[in-house]
Amino acid sequence: MALRLGDTAPDFTAETSEGKISFHEWLGDSWGLLFSHPADYTPVCTTELGTTAKLKEEFEKRNVKVVALSVDDVESHQGWIKDINETQNTTVNFPIIADPKREVSTLYDMIHPNADNSLTVRSVFIIDPAKKIKLIITYPASTGRNFDELLRVIDSLQLTANYSVATPANWRHGEDVVIAPAITDAEIPAKFPKGHKVIKPYLRTTPQPNL
């Protein structure tokens, strides 16, 4: 059965390019970003993994651990990492799960037979410290992921987990947010002392509360 938002991210033990990990234990109290790749030595994936490595500090300051997955084995991963480092002018600094038996891929429903019956699609899972799945995005194999968008979503998820707000379309860190409908007008001054704007009774905005 396909995973849905709010489900507990399935735990697993797997070999990776940085040794064996038990997923939940490896995550610890961090957020997690798990993303899959159709195969090693594929062009779009090479650019994605290089981009991820360059964003190491951005993920760290958000307390996010990153782990990739490909259906090839660890030896193949190690050779591919050399190519990624060379062509993308970076150093891969996160584990890549080896999944030659498609066990993790199946657990996370990463193989879509109508797209390809053996290779994983470009799945992305963002997982919170309670091990709950907070976001799922699936891209076709031909389209590389937008990592700026993934960081934007993480910012939104972490903000809205701690405050009674939502983020509007195209929101970026530092911009105004929407006050949750469950908050009454009378409660707003205490909860949002920076002030607020009423656009419609159901659409009220306030400066980002954690800045």
Query: How many CB atoms lie under 10 A from the CB of residue 24?
Result: 16
Looking at residue 108, what is its pLDDT?
93
Does the annotation mark 45 as catalytic? yes
Q: What is the mean pLDDT of each run of 10 residues along the chain (211 residues)?
A: 91 98 98 93 95 98 97 96 98 97 90 57 91 94 91 98 97 97 96 96 97 92
Looking at residue 110, what is its pLDDT?
85
Tokens of 162: 């701690």
Contact by Cβ (8 Å): 88, 4: no
Looking at residue 43, what is its pLDDT?
93
Considering the candidates 45, 68, 104, 124, report the single residue annotated as catalytic. Answer: 45
Looking at residue 38, what is its pLDDT?
84
Looking at residue 201, what is its pLDDT?
95
Looking at residue 115, what is its pLDDT?
52
Looking at residue 209, what is its pLDDT?
96
Query: What's the chain's length in residues?
Result: 211
Looking at residue 198, what is its pLDDT?
97
Looking at residue 111, what is its pLDDT?
76
Looking at residue 109, what is its pLDDT?
87
Ordered structural domains, the chain, with CATH: 13-144 (3.40.30.10), 163-206 (3.30.1020.10)
